[in-house]
Amino acid sequence: MNSRRDSTDGPEDVDATFAEIVAGLEREGVGKSLPDDEPDEQEAEPAGRPGGRSTATAADRTPDDEPDDDPDDHFIPPEPPPLPALRPGTIAALLLIVLGLVVLLFPGLFGLESRLGTPLALIVLCAGVGWLILRIRNGPPPDSGWDDGAVL
């Protein structure tokens, strides 16, 4: 039961196959327009100028050629839009959360023992958080048009 695989699956075959692919692409002209690694005589450094500085005039330069060395030239983001006004239901839910925290931390302010104040505070906290979660909108914004794109 000694089945021997064909030797064409080895690494030698991969190199030969790659060489065939490259030769086929070269026959089709792929890669002929790529620049050479050596610069042309026109692009070589001028002999009389040390450091090979460019002799391009200001008209030849694009804005991308300019150095970004100016420390005062940086992106300044625009002012953020103002926060929307809180609706009464949101304010009530936030007040429930604050009330729950106060009852949880200081039950004596309301004349409660901690044995009764802790469960009451947790119920009030959960009610405030639940109210906020139930107020989350799932629909499109009111100012959206008929084509909202992909809505997830």
pLDDT surpassing 60 at residue 120: yes
Rounded to whole angstroms, the Cα distance separating 123 from 104 reads: 10
Counted domains in the chain: 1
Give me the pLDDT at residue 3, please: 46
**Does 97 fall in a domain?**
yes
Q: Cβ of 131: how many Cβ atoms within 10 Å?
A: 16
* pLDDT over threshold 80, residue 131: yes
Q: How far apart are CA 83 and CA 141, in angstroms?
A: 16
| Beta carbons within 10 angstroms of residue 112's beta carbon | 15
Instruction: Report if residue 70 sits inside a domain.
Output: no
> Residue 1: its pLDDT value, please?
47
Task: Judge whether 92 and 130 are in contact, CB under 8 Å.
Answer: no
Residue 4 has pLDDT above 60, yes or no: no
Domain span including residue 130:
88-134
Tens digit of each residue's pLDDT (9 = 90 or more) over 18-77: 989 989 888 888 777 655 555 555 555 555 445 544 555 555 555 555 555 667 778 889
Does residue 151 lie within any of the structural domains? no
Nearest to 104 by CA among 128, 88, 86: 128
Residue 104: inside a domain: yes
- For residue 121, tell me if it sits in a domain: yes
152 occurs within a structural domain? no
**CB-hemisphere CA count at 13 Å for 92?**
8
pTM across the whole model: 0.44
b/e sequence 5-42, b meaning 16+ C-beta within 10 Å: eeeeeeeeeeeeeeeeeeeeeeeeeeeeeeeeeeeeee
Query: What integer best gives the mean pLDDT of the chain?
Result: 76
